[in-house]
Amino acid sequence: MKSLSAAIVAAVLLALLFDTFAPAHSQQVKRPNIVIILGDDLGFADMSSFGGEIKTPNLDELAKEGVRFTQFYTHASCSPTRSMLLTGVDTHLNGLGNMDEWAAPNQWDVDGYEGHLRRNLTTLPQLLRDAGYHTYMAGKWHMGKAPDLIPAARGFERDFSLLDGAGSYWDMWNFTAISPKSTFTEDGRYLIRLPKDYYATKTYTDKIISDIEADRKDGKPFFVYLSEQAPHDPYHLPRDWRNRHVGEYDKGWDVVRNERLQRQIKMGITAPGTDLAERMWFVPDASLLAPATRAIMGKKMELYAGMVENMDYHVGRLMDYLKTIGEYDNTIFIVFGDNGAEGADLFKMIAGTPGTRDFLFASMVWSETNPNAWGDPHSYVGYGPAWAQVSMTPFSQYKGNLAEGGIRNALIVSGPIDRQAAGSINHQAVLHVADIMPTLLEVAGAKRPQTYQGQEQPPLIGESWVKMLEGKEASPRTDKDYLAWEIFGNCAVRQGDWKLVWQYKPYGTGEWQLFNLAEDLGERHDLAAERPEKVKELVALWDDYVKANHVILPSRVLWEGMEQKLPQRYPVEPGFPPLIYKSQFVPPKDMLANPKP
């Protein structure tokens, strides 16, 4: 008996000793799983939980169970946003100071402008993997193609990834003659062909479910980065998803945008009295277009809506799977779009003019131009600036620009991290995509070291949301904190309700503009002349940002020659000029007469 008792005591002491020195993550009985769902060019107002008429029941379920945020910021383009999501480091220090595709000559071979994630940086999946998480990715990468830059080299143990910034949803065709095929990896190997019956949105979900299933019996938590390609153009869609909104958008973008605003006001996404941003000056009033033209333009939006609904459907498949295996209630979901909706004609930018190499390539590879074939392989459709503004209701402009329509996104957070009232809407917290890394490291009980594998790490720019989501603070930022952006030479800084913006003509004025976002969500009223002291304060913050992050303004920009290509800019006012809005005069019937003989 004495020896048995001694053995029991020894076992207890050993258990206590192990518990004392065990890693923090092993002390938790069940750490939460993490799923990031990133829509590509998904607009602020597209999901029905943010005012859209597009049906997104699965994403809406996450919104009803969690909390929606209306002041969440990304960057104005895809790879810069993704770089901050996965590193928590400003773009000018993490390698995406400019997009690889548009880097200016004075940025070539400059640290911070490599066009891919810098090799010395540690990533969120690396640190979560070190902390005992499985790490899975499926979808668009867009942050490097060399073997030491692909997802498998940056912390993902399983992946199925499109390394390019966009491409066909049906096959491996890319956009230029010099780079005709998209590059894919699976679990660290470059694919020579795609799986049978490949369709991007479906296949990405299939792969994530398969990855989780393969490892789920070991009991480890998982981190999923579902980096959707949808709804980025080209708008490719299975035929049975194309006819769910037939004729719905023939009424035109102005009507749909106003309907979205009214829904946003009714559900509390925006405040009563909010004004829509001014319609882009080169976008026509849809009511003045011929019916056939409106129908063709409306068909593009029908395809876009179908892509968002198809993405929602496949997100629902993942949700249902997690429910089936009993992991749904222990999973944190973070849902948002990577930048504003795409209003530029990307296909035209790539194809160029007749007689060029890429125009010939585009004519052969993207040859299905009949509207009845839109959505099929070899078709290329984007919906243009008019519908992009609808997607970004009520904001000004869209992707690529630093108006709110380029950088503000809908955000849903749900799961065990959230202690807010189910279905609540948070208008107070000003959040940034770089916040996600410190937030999830805290959730996982992981830390980011000052040096990683012998490499000094630049500072994180984000703030953890954990206390906010637990209801212990209203926002991770005060009115003294500021956010700043630079992309393609456009610049912006926000502190409190004030935002200072400098943009190239024609989208900007070539001067600093000042807006009060609490009173002017649509950025209609430039207050720079009225508040020069506020401009001076914010310019000082901008200078501080430039110095701290080694910002190099580009010597060449996307906007070259655009002012000459677009119509001259004049204010857009409904009903002006009256000449074209006045209906036929109809005399009283009792005063009608035939001419006298």
pLDDT in tens, 416-439: 998 889 999 999 999 999 999 999
User: 491: which 2 tokens?
Assistant: 């610049």
Given the residues 75, 78, 116, 314, the one annotated as active site: 78
| Confidence bin at 317 (pLDDT 50/70/90) | very high
Cβ-based neighbour number of residue 254 at 10 Å: 19
Residue 346 lies in a domain: yes
With a cut of 80, say whether residue 5 has pLDDT above it: no
Q: How far apart are CA 95 and CA 220, in angstroms?
A: 32
DSSP assignment string, 66-92 = SEEEEEEE--SSHHHHHHHHHH-S-HH
How many residues are there in the chain?
A: 597
Residue in the block written with tokens 């004609």? 345
* CA 572-577-582 angle, 5° bins: 130
- Which pLDDT value is given to residue 8? 38
Burial 87-125 (b: 16+ CB within 10 A, else e): bbbbbbbbbbbbbbebbbeebeeeebbbbbbbebbbbbb
pLDDT value at 298 more than 50: yes
Cα end-to-end distance, the chain, whole Å:
133
Domain count, the chain: 1
The stretch 342-363 carries a mean pLDDT of 93
Helix (H) or strand (E) holding 295: helix 291-324
Q: What is the mean pLDDT of residues 552-578?
A: 93
Q: Which amino acid is at 398?
A: Y
In a domain? residue 69: yes
Q: What is the pLDDT of residues 586-595, one digit of tens each?
A: 999 999 999 9
User: Residue 402 in contact with residue 76, Cβ under 8 Å?
Assistant: yes
Q: What is the mean pLDDT of residues 324-345?
A: 97
| φ and ψ of 153, to 5 deg | -90, -10
Handedness of CA 555, 558, 561, 564 (dihedral sign): negative
Report how far residue 427's alpha carbon sits from residue 70's, in angstroms, rounded to the nearest whole number: 5
Structure tokens at 93: 């220090």
Indicate whether 267 belongs to any domain: yes
Residue with tokens 């019916």: 291
Is the per-residue pLDDT at 264 higher than 90? yes
Query: Which pLDDT tens digit goes with each residue over 13-54?
Result: 333 333 333 344 444 468 999 999 999 999 999 999 999 999
pLDDT in tens, 389-412: 999 999 999 999 999 999 999 999
pLDDT at 2 (0 to 100): 38
Q: What letter represents residue 277's amino acid?
A: A
Write the CB contacts of 208 (distance below 8 Å, at least 6 apart in sequence): 136, 138, 224, 226, 318
* Closest listed residue to residue 134, CA positions, set 248, 39, 245, 211: 211
Quick check: is 491 catalytic?
A: no
pLDDT tops 70 at residue 12: no
Q: Is the pLDDT of residue 371 over 60?
A: yes
Amino acid present at 243: N
**Burial of 547 per CB tally in 10 Å (0-12, 13-18, 19+):** exposed
Query: What is the rounded CA–CA span in Å between residue 217 and residue 574?
Result: 61
Catalytic residue flag (residue 75): no
Residue 592 lies in a domain: no
Q: How deeply is 202 buried, as exposed, middle or buried, from its count of CB atoms within 10 A (0-12, 13-18, 19+)?
A: middle
> Is residue 33 classed as helix, strand or coil in its secondary structure?
strand
Catalytic residue selected from 92, 116, 142, 432: 142
Residue 396 in any domain: the answer is yes
Q: Mark out the alpha helices in 424-531 (DSSP H runs).
A: 436-444, 466-469
Minimal CA–CA distance to 34: which of 346, 444, 577?
444
Other C-beta atoms lying within 10 Å of the C-beta of residue 194: 19
pLDDT above 90: percentage of residues in the chain: 93
Q: What percent of the chain has pLDDT over 70?
A: 95
H/E run at residue 35 = strand 33-39
Residues 6+ positions from 489 with CB-CB distance below 8 Å? 504, 553, 554, 557, 559
Q: Is 492 in a helix, a strand, or coil?
A: strand
* Statement: residue 244 has pLDDT above 80: yes
370 pLDDT more than 90: yes
Amino acid at 111: D
Domain containing residue 197: 32-574
Per-residue pLDDT band for 278 (boundaries 50, 70, 90) equals: very high
Q: How confident is the model at residue 476 (pLDDT cuts 50, 70, 90)?
A: very high
Tell me the CATH number at 188: 3.40.720.10
pTM for this entry? 0.93
Q: What is the pLDDT of residues 503-547, one digit of tens each?
A: 999 999 999 999 999 999 999 999 999 999 999 999 999 999 999
3-state secondary structure 228-263: CCCCCCCCCCCHHHCCCCCCCCCCCHHHHHHHHHHH
**Strand-strand pairing, 134-140 and 222-227:** parallel
The whole-number pLDDT of residue 29 equals 62
Cis peptide before 506 (omega within 30 of 0): yes
At 491 the pLDDT is 98
Whether 2 is in a domain gets the answer: no
Please report whether residue 597 resides in a domain.
Answer: no
At residue 127 the predicted structure's pLDDT band, cuts being 50, 70 and 90, is very high
pLDDT tens, residue by residue, 69-103: 999 999 999 999 999 999 999 999 999 999 999 99
Listed residue (200, 204, 198) closest to 234, CA to CA: 200
491 and 513 in contact (C-beta within 8 Å)?
no
3-state SS of 502-541 is ECCCCCCCCCEEEEECCCCCCCCCCCCCCCHHHHHHHHHH
Over 50: is that where the pLDDT of 369 sits?
A: yes
Whether residue 506 lies inside any domain: the answer is yes
